[in-house]
């Protein structure tokens, strides 16, 4: 076999090996290869058919010459163990040797290291306590850089990648980027691992907050790490459990926030009493309960006498103080089971469960006389004249609905005002 033919054969052998995921190496006088397994390399012998021994030696020599052109260090730069030509990681400490594969451009050691490893050591949560070779394999992953506001992950199909934050942080948004972030992914933490593990679609946005540097880990590398290093698998379980607890805390916090929103929506800001919306929701249920249990239910409707004139004379700030004072008198004058609401303007209502007309009249008189004798002094020590109220009281009757009860109480209030104000009037029948 001529040398030119052997050169072609050497190239053909190399190409055939690489097409099958193998990388040629030389071990003594024997042709061998390294087999890629999830990012880790293991040696195996390769049979080259139809190659007689003299020709095989020449082919090996030709491949040796090609390898010499891209030879790496003679010793490992990390542990100084002898370097076995062709291997991409140290046999002793598994540190990457950064030898370019055929077809790759050989770069200076500093440039190659800058591309393959992060610029500074970062404590990666997933690798905590794991064998150093796990980190060496991890750092073979490409480094990606984002600028402020750049979106790394968005809802939809996953791209077969998980990311490890080496520097900076990501903010997480749920439905839209306009919503406030619900979490932040900081240095050493991971993003996108859940979709990579279960194959589900991504459900949130991850956006760079400032400049961010990340490792981009593919499915094959992650699977190999989880299979080879039990500590990495345990760390992944702990991380997922922590995310689950965080999700539960978020749900609880959301429910508490919703309850607070509902409370604020049902409370009058000025007086601190329940508002008209709350009354419209509660009163029908109270009336139905009264009908079902065949127990009396009374409703008192109150109105501050001459309130418009008071407002015009003393100003709206004084008027607001009067409404606040009425609310305080109501709270101090009724039973714990009675329900108070500001109906609107200067009108208030009191729902009195299990109370007939006589009991409701006594309660209404107590409120009226207490307010009439209450001195009104504003926070700046300005004394205001006392105010009075007119009260209409009605009780449920068979077949009643909430609007019927309200209408009768309002009619009784009108009668109290028409009779001279500062009095209680009962709706009969």
Residues β-bridged to residue 426: 393
> In total, how many domains does the chain have?
3
Which of 48, 78, 110 delimits the end of a domain? 110
Do 75 and 135 reside in the same domain of the chain?
A: no
Mark whether 88 and 47 lie in a shared domain.
Answer: yes
Q: Any idea which residue has 């980027």 for tokens?
A: 177
163 lies in some domain: yes
The reply to whether 23 and 87 lie within a common domain is yes
Which residue range forms the structural domain that includes residue 414?
276-426
pLDDT of residue 135: 81
Residues of the chain with pLDDT under 50: 1-10, 21-60, 62-63, 66-73, 84-87, 98-120
Residue 269 inside a domain? The answer is no
| pLDDT tens string 354-406 | 999 999 999 999 999 999 999 999 999 999 999 999 999 999 999 899 999 99
106 falls within a domain: yes
pLDDT for 126 equals: 83
Residues in CB range of 46: below 8 A, 6 or more apart: 17, 22, 31, 32, 33
- Taking the alpha carbons at both ends of the chain, their separation in whole angstroms is 122
Whole-number pLDDT of residue 289: 93
Domain-embedded: residue 136: yes
Q: Is the distance from CB of 100 to CB of 106 less than 8 angstroms?
A: yes
* Residue 265, in any domain of the structure: no
Residues 406 and 293 in one domain: yes
Question: Does residue 184 form part of some domain?
Answer: yes
Mark whether 420 and 281 lie in a shared domain: yes
Q: What is the pLDDT of residue 206?
A: 92
Write down the residue that tokens 């409701």 correspond to.
360
Residues 132 and 94 sit within 8 Å (Cβ to Cβ): yes
Whether residue 208 is found in the same domain as residue 152: yes
* CA dist., res. 262 & res. 274, Å (int): 11
Strand ranges inside 280-412, DSSP E: 297-304, 339-344, 347-353, 376-377, 383-384, 389-395
pLDDT of amino acid 37 = 32
**What are the start-end ranges of the H helices in 207-266?**
219-228, 230-265
Boundary residue ending a domain (220, 254, 288): 254
Q: Which residue among 222, 254, 286 closes a domain?
A: 254
Residue 63 in domain = yes
| pLDDT, position 49 | 42
Do 184 and 78 sit in the same domain of this protein? no
pLDDT for 210 equals 94
pLDDT of 343 reads: 95
pLDDT tens-place string over residues 82-133: 654 444 556 566 666 544 444 444 444 444 333 444 444 678 888 888 888 8
Phi, psi of 211 (to 5 degrees): -75, 135
Same-domain status, 282 and 422: yes
CATH number at residue 298: 3.30.70.270
CATH code of the domain covering residue 178: 2.60.120.10
- Of the CA atoms within 13 Å of residue 130, those in its CB half-sphere come to 24
Query: Are residues 360 and 413 part of one domain?
Result: yes
Closest CA to 69 of 108, 40, 106, 31: 106
Asked if 242 and 291 sit in the same domain, the reply is no
Q: Same structural domain for residues 216 and 245?
A: yes
Strand order in the sheet with 30-37: 22-27, 30-37, 40-45
**Is 118 inside a domain boundary?**
no
Contacts with 188 (C-beta within 8 Å, 6 or more apart), sequence order: 122, 123, 124, 125, 164, 165
**Hunting for tokens 């996108």 — which residue is that?**
192
Q: What is the Cα–Cα distance from 140 to 101, expressed in whole angstroms? A: 14
Residues 106 and 130 in one domain: no
């Amino acid at each position: 076999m001529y040398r030119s033919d052997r050169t072609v054969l050497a190239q053909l052998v190399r190409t055939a090996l690489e097409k099958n995921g193998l990388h040629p190496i030389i071990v003594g006088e024997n042709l061998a290869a390294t087999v890629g397994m999830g990012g880790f390399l293991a040696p195996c012998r390769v049979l080259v058919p139809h190659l007689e021994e003299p020709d095989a030696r020449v082919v090996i020599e030709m491949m040796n010459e090609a390898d010499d052109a891209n030879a790496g260090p003679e010793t490992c730069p990390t542990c100084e163990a002898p370097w076995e030509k062709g291997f991409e990681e140290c046999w002793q400490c598994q540190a990457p040797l950064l030898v370019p594969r055929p077809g790759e451009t050989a770069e200076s050691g500093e440039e190659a290291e800058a591309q393959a490893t992060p610029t500074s050591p970062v404590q990666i949560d997933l690798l905590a306590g794991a064998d150093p070779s796990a980190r060496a394999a991890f750092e073979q992953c490409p480094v990606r850089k984002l600028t402020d506001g750049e979106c790394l992950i968005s809802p939809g199909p996953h791209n077969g990648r998980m990311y490890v934050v080496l520097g900076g942080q990501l903010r997480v948004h749920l439905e839209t980027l306009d919503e406030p972030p619900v979490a932040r992914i900081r240095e050493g933490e991971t993003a996108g691992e859940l979709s990579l593990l279960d194959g589900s679609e991504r459900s949130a946005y991850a956006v760079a907050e400032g400049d961010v540097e990340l490792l981009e880990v593919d499915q094959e590398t992650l699977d190999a790490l989880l299979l080879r290093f039990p500590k990495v698998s345990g760390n992944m379980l702990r991380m997922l459990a922590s995310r689950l607890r965080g999700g539960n805390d978020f749900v609880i916090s959301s429910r508490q926030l919703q309850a607070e929103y509902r409370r604020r929506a049902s409370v009058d800001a000025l007086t601190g009493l329940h508002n008209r919306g709350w009354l419209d929701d509660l009163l029908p249920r109270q009336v139905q309960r009264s009908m079902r249990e065949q127990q009396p239910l009374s409703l008192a409707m109150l109105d501050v006498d001459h309130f418009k004139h008071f407002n015009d004379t003393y100003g709206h700030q004084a008027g607001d103080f009067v409404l606040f004072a009425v609310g305080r008198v109501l709270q101090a004058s009724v039973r714990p089971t009675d329900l108070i609401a500001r109906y609107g303007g200067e009108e208030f209502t009191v729902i009195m469960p299990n109370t007939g007309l006589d009991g409701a009249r006594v309660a209404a008189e107590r409120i009226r006389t207490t307010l009439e004798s209450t001195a009104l002094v504003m926070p700046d020590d300005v004394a205001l004249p006392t105010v009075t109220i007119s009260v209409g009281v009605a009780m449920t009757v068979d077949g009643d609905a909430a609007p019927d009860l309200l209408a009768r109480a309002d009619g009784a209030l009108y009668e109290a005002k028409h009779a001279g104000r500062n009095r209680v009037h009962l709706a009969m029948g």
